[in-house]
Amino acid sequence: MNDSKRTDQLHWQANRQQRGRANSRGYMPGLDGLRALAVLAVIAYHLNLDWAPGGLLGVSLFFVLSGYLITNILLQQWEHSGTIDLKDFWLRRARRLLPALFVMLAGVMIWVMLCAPERLAALKWEALAAVFYTSNWYLIFHQVSYFESFGPPSPLGHLWSLAVEEQFYLFWPLLLGWGLRCLRQRKWLVGGTIAVALASAAAMALIYIPGHDPSRVYYGTDTRVFALLVGAVLAMVWPSRKMSADLSGKKKLALDAAGSLGLLVVLLMISKTNQYQTSLYPGGLLLFSLAAACVVAVLAHPASYLGRCFSWGPLRWLGECSYGIYLWHYPVIVLTNPVVNTGGPDLSHTLWQIAVSVILATLSRYLIEEPIRYGRRQRVRRRMSALPWWQRPLPHRAKVTFSIVLVFSLLFVTPNEGTEISAKALAGSRVTTEAAPTQGTDKEAGAVTVEPAVTDKKNDVSGEEITVIGDSLLINVGPVLQERLPGIVIDAQIGRQMVQAPEVISRLQQEGKLRKIVIIELGTNGSFTEKQLTETLDSLQGTSEIVLVNTRVPKPWEAVVNETLRKVTESYPKARLIDWYSASSGHDDYFYSDGVHLTKTGVAAYGEILIEALISHQNDKDKSCYNNKKLKE
């Protein structure tokens, strides 16, 4: 028995040494450290941490890394054998990616089935798309916005990026093999790849419309593949097999200086940009990919001091677990976040979410990914042969088969009916019930115009001087304003965004419904630029006062919208801002489960805040006029 254990130990050590020799030729530990940076940026973004608004760029960092490593492997294989073994490549990718994905999908489906069965009907189709790595196109064709959807977010929404990578793994070896066979000179292959990458970046720039939902260009394989191709080009011109650690002092200094500059750009863009900046899609993501490629090139070089820094043990270990962390962190965050949270971030809760994600990723790595990826077959077979059949562990093929069967069972055996109410349906129902007293309906689909109503209540502000332009929140609050401010005109539409405001203003002017005080409540449904807001305010030349209302919405654009409103209000003489975000802080009872639309209590509070702000401002104006009159006397 001792001899058997000793033999197994020696065999295991030999396998480790063999893998270590292989890794010494191709393994670049600094790149694992870069993976850690990428996954930490993505986690920070999904946790809505203020210091990393551009954490979504971590995905682009993964894309560049994948493009470089995959192309590097394929080129090495071509040079050694004169061909690309597609079957071997795809099987290795499947062994690396599929088992952990299936386990995560099964875990999420079981959790949802037990704790939130009303979500299964919608989630099962997303899971099916994830199994076939088509999540990104599923989201595009079903018009599911990564940034601007209401209701509880899907715990599988992050898998779009894995779909883009897997589609690249499927088609790129075929195209690369064709190019290597047909193009004798490598420069033509490099040039062709650069041309395709630029075409992809150009498609992103052309399809993107500032102020509109960027999900189409964000999800699309056609508009995101340039980051992977930037990595591929780097592998063609900077192959790891031709690098030498023997560099002079000046060359080492230049190498690390280039890497540090690229890293600085990467970190600055992660900390300073956000997904709504208009510069991000017409070139910003391409710039980030080029900076990331510079960092990858330096970290891959054995002579780089920066590479040794990124090879620090804990950072490298985190990078080795990055695939599992990426798989698990988003479901953990989505499924454990409170439904409504107006109290701000909870540090202990955030740390707990990160810890659970890392623990699940660690278990995935050591129990699922590495045993299936590396096999350890001979040792397992010898041990299994000496045990009774009932004590033998399941072979890896059985584990994978069981995971697949479990996922598909959960997809097709679980009930199809659900009780989840979408935010659109919720808002639509309110249009029918709460906006029923309206006297006129706008020609726009879903738009409701509330005309004057008879009431005995009096205020210092006359409703006949006020026009309100808003989205579904104002549909709810309309009856309150109508009662307190008789004569007010309220024009509200479900899903309305700031980019539509100038058209609405023009129509109201033609209809004679634009008063001297205009209140604008827009920003619930998405972000807008300072230019778009300024153009909206400029179209209100005939008004004497403009009141803007900021937003509270549990989505990434909340801070962007509120900051844009603050900046423009400070620079625009006729405009002032009502701070609904601060007024609603700590009042979870104001909101329905989507964290956006208002309960009866929230409607009353919102209406009262608007009315009090108008009355207070009118009193200040009256007092100022009185003081000026006394001074003249």
Residues designated as active site: 472, 594, 597
SS3 of 56, please?
Answer: coil
Stated as kind and residue range, the H or E segment containing 575 is strand 575-578
Phi, psi of 492, rounded to the nearest 5 degrees = -130, 145
In the 8-state DSSP scheme, what is residue 64? H
547: left (phi over 0), alpha (psi -120 to 50) or beta: beta
Rounded Cα distance between 527 and 432, Å, is 27
Residue 115 makes CB contacts below 8 A (sequence gap 6+) with 335
Rounded Cα distance between 509 and 447, Å, is 16
Residue 481 makes CB contacts below 8 A (sequence gap 6+) with 450, 463, 468, 488, 490, 607, 610, 611
Decide: residue 58, CB within 10 A, 0-12 exposed, 13-18 middle, 19+ buried.
buried
Rounded Cα distance between 406 and 159, Å, is 19
Residue 180 makes CB contacts below 8 A (sequence gap 6+) with 78, 84, 189
What is the DSSP annotation of 373-389?
Answer: HH--HHHHHHHHHTS-G
Rounded Cα distance between 283 and 200, Å, is 11
SS3 of 529, please?
Answer: coil
Residue 324 makes CB contacts below 8 A (sequence gap 6+) with 100, 360, 361, 362, 364, 365, 369
Rounded Cα distance between 569 and 364, Å, is 50
Sheet holding 489-493, edge to edge: 440-441, 447-450, 489-493, 466-470, 517-521, 545-549, 575-578
Determine how β-strand 517-521 pairs with β-strand 575-578.
unpaired
What is the DSSP annotation of 71-133?
Answer: HHHHHHHHHHHSS--HHHHHHHHHHHHHHHHHHHHHHHHHHHHHH-GGGHHHHHHHHHHHHTT
Query: Which of 557, 528, 527 has its CA nearest to residue 45?
Result: 557
Residue labelled with tokens 């006020």: 466
